Amino acid sequence: MPLRLRGKKKAKSKETAGLVKGEPTGAGGGSPSASLAPARRLVFHAQLAHGSATGRVEGFSSIQELYAQIAGAFEISPSEILYCTLNTPRIDMERLLGGQLGLEDFIFAHVKGIKKEVNVCKSEDSLGVTITDNGVGYAFIKRIKDGGVIDSIKTICVGDHIESINGENIVGWRHYDVAKKLKELKKEELFTMNLIEPKKAFEIEPRSKAGKSSGEKIGSGRATLRLRSKGPATVEEMPSETKAKAIEKIDDVLELYMGIRDIDLATTMFEAGKDKVNPDEFAVALDETLGDFAFPDEFVFDVWGVIGDAKRRGL
């Protein structure tokens, strides 16, 4: 059965894939439904990861608004915040704040620290690095592969923000654009990256390659605050174990085919396919939702297989 992934006009922008810019809407209000806007004003607690007093943040609906709230609480510029982790001040890439925030989660904001310039020779086709971003314009290193090109350069660490490549400022780029830029560099080419590492009170596992976590779940509450790129945030039930595992597997497929990990993108793909009955319908849904990516057919079939397995197990 032929796929029609590239046969339809691109309907939506890359912004659909993650949180890029939120409209200034509050977190309260809404009518009862399966996915409710919070009826009360939700309050979260936050600290700066390198050490600070505890601040309170509330009334946000997007990552951008959350960063503004954190910046206000600690009297810093929102542009100083690289990313946030949940329930740990460590640079733990498995605890990154994405599109969902547990109602009992504690937020740690990692801010800009030391700048560094690194020269790299692309001695292999792959640099052995996985890139992600914070949803508001800062791409950073999420994983470093053992034995890869980047692994041999000890000044490059997981959590480092990539500010520029060969003098070209990439602030504002999404992680897949940065990954493409690095992939397009020729083998044996010497290039320069300007990096900013997160500020640290003292060194905590600075050379971590951020592999798979032990599986410990973030937060202890059964509900989460779902942050959206447009519209109000909503309180939702925690996903079932089957759904959560399926989304994690889709994230693995993303890394295998695209060289990126993006749990929000994986969630969007799962939601696009959960009510479809065949891979053709799923391909069309992906094209309508995420057409700018132009996913290869093999990737679509693999993701459809993950969703099909989850449906058979019961969501």
pLDDT at 121: 96
Distance of CA 261 to the CA centre of its chain: 7
CA distance 235 to 176: 29
List beta partners, residue 119.
192
- Structural tokens at position 86: 């949940």
In this model, does residue 152 exceed pLDDT 90? yes
Of 194 and 271, the structure prediction assigns the larger pLDDT to 194
Mean pLDDT for the stretch of residues 28-46: 58
> Concatenated DSSP letters for 198-260?
EP-SS-SSTT--------PPS-S-SEEEE--SSS--EEEEPPPHHHHHHHHHHHHHHHHHHSB
CB 21 within 8 A of CB 35: no
> Concatenated DSSP letters for 135-193?
SSS-EEEEEE-TTSTGGG-TT--TT-EEEEETTEE-TT--HHHHHHHHHTSPTT-EEEE
* Poorest-pLDDT segment among 102-111, 225-234, 268-277: 225-234
> Concatenated DSSP letters for 298-309?
HHHHHHHHHHHH
pLDDT at 205: 45
pTM score above 0.85:
no
* Poorest-pLDDT segment among 31-40, 104-113, 180-189, 285-294: 31-40
CA distance 291 to 188: 33
* Poorest-pLDDT segment among 16-25, 55-64, 197-206, 228-237: 16-25
pLDDT at 210: 47
The three-state (H, E, C) secondary structure of 116-133, written as one string? EEEEEECCCCCCCEEEEE
CA distance 129 to 146: 9
CA distance 281 to 72: 45
Which tens digits make up the pLDDT trace of 275-292?
998 888 999 988 888 877
pLDDT at 22: 35
In this model, does residue 9 exceed pLDDT 50? no
SS3 75: coil
Contacting residues for 34 by C-beta, under 8 A, at least 6 apart: none
In this model, does residue 14 exceed pLDDT 60? no
The listed range with the strongest mean pLDDT (2-11, 90-99, 132-141) is 132-141
pLDDT at 79: 96
pLDDT at 292: 72
pLDDT at 315: 59
Mean pLDDT for the stretch of residues 117-125: 95
- Structural tokens at position 89: 């001040």
pLDDT at 33: 41
For residue 65, which phi and psi values (nearest 5 degrees)?
Answer: -70, -35
pLDDT at 264: 77
Which tens digits make up the pLDDT trace of 205-254?
444 444 444 333 334 445 666 676 556 666 666 567 888 889 889 988 88
Mean pLDDT for the stretch of residues 75-101: 91
CA distance 96 to 251: 14
In this model, does residue 98 exceed pLDDT 90? no
